[in-house]
Amino acid sequence: MPVACSATALTGSSGAVYFTPAATKACLLAADFSDGDNDIDVGTDKDFRVGDIVTFGLKDGATIDSGLTVGTKYRIKTIADGKVEIVTSADGLDVTIAGDGADNGGHVEMQNDPSGICEVREWSCDFSASQLDVSTLPCGVGATAGAAKYLQPKKTQAGPPEITGTMTLYITNDETSLSQRLMESVIYTNQDGAAVKLYLNAVSDGATEPAPDDAASAFIAGEVVFTDFSTTVNSDDATTAEVSFSMWKVTNWIGLAIS
């Protein structure tokens, strides 16, 4: 795909927000994959929902059930008592759980895929690094007796940053929308899996259905904790809500992939 060679300033129409809901990450052991009733025990403290698209990854030597493939997209078909049944996302075919995975001291991660939110009016992100004082004593005598003639400036270096932000959403009457799920995420104790991808410039990959081409797009991404919610309702304006977040793990910063 060609690259842009002009320096045209971006506008809000180039941006987008992709979101992974809170409580949609499960760390699973081999025993959680049942070969009897073809379901996966994710626990009752999660917020997976019917229709969610999920993928699986391996951690620390675990092997996955032979009925599943790492990186393949699956769709949740049913949920009951903390157990989910999945089908293939591409064609909706049933998945057969063989029950033959192994922990090997690790686990399998099941997590929702990020999806675009259509109701975001605007987003903001603030990066503020702390300053560590690394000033040292003089390593030689001053130019005058007893002390240096001039004050020694303090020397600092960047320390751990605080990354915070907000998203302003239009509230609609669609109870299944991602924006409503985002607002609900604030109240969960377990927010494992919550993540955002904040696009300054979302470039299409040209596929069907189209998705952002992250290699060509400029965006900020990472795992977050949702911290605040506020809204005001009046008869003159569209109803909006502001959701605040704190990013504790950065996975992409503008054009840099962070491991």
Cβ(224)–Cβ(247) below 8 Å:
yes
* Per-residue pLDDT, 59: 92
12-18+117-135+156-257 CATH choice from 2.30.110, 1.10.4040, 1.10.3470, 2.60.120: 2.30.110
Average pLDDT over residues 75-79: 95
DSSP code at position 18: E
Percentage of the residues of the chain whose pLDDT score is greater than 70: 95
Tokens read off for 220: 């900020």
CA 67 to chain centre: 27
* Per-residue pLDDT, 3: 65
Taking alpha carbons only, the member of 184, 178, 163 closest to residue 229 is 184
Measure the CA angle with vertex 97, ends 95 and 98; round to 5°: 135
Starting at the edge strand that comes first in sequence, how are the strands of the sheet with 53-59 ordered? 25-28, 107-112, 53-59, 74-80, 83-88, 40-41
* Per-residue pLDDT, 75: 95
pTM of the model: 0.87
Rounded-to-integer distance, Cα 88 and Cα 48, Å: 16
What are 225-253's pLDDT values in tens digits? 999 999 999 999 999 999 999 999 999 99
Three-state SS at 232? strand
Average pLDDT over residues 64-72: 92
pLDDT tier, 190 (very low <50, low <70, confident <90, very high otherwise): confident
When the pLDDT of each residue in the chain is averaged and rounded to a whole number, the result is 92
DSSP of 77-110, one letter per residue? Answer: EEEETTEEEEEETTT--B-------B-TT-EEEE
**Per-residue pLDDT for 2 more than 80?**
no
CA 57 to chain centre: 16
Domain boundaries, the chain: 12-18+117-135+156-257, 24-113
Beta bridge partners of 100: none
Q: Is 198 exposed, middle or buried (0-12, 13-18, 19+ CB in 10 A)?
A: buried
Helices and strands (DSSP H and E) totals, the chain: 1, 14
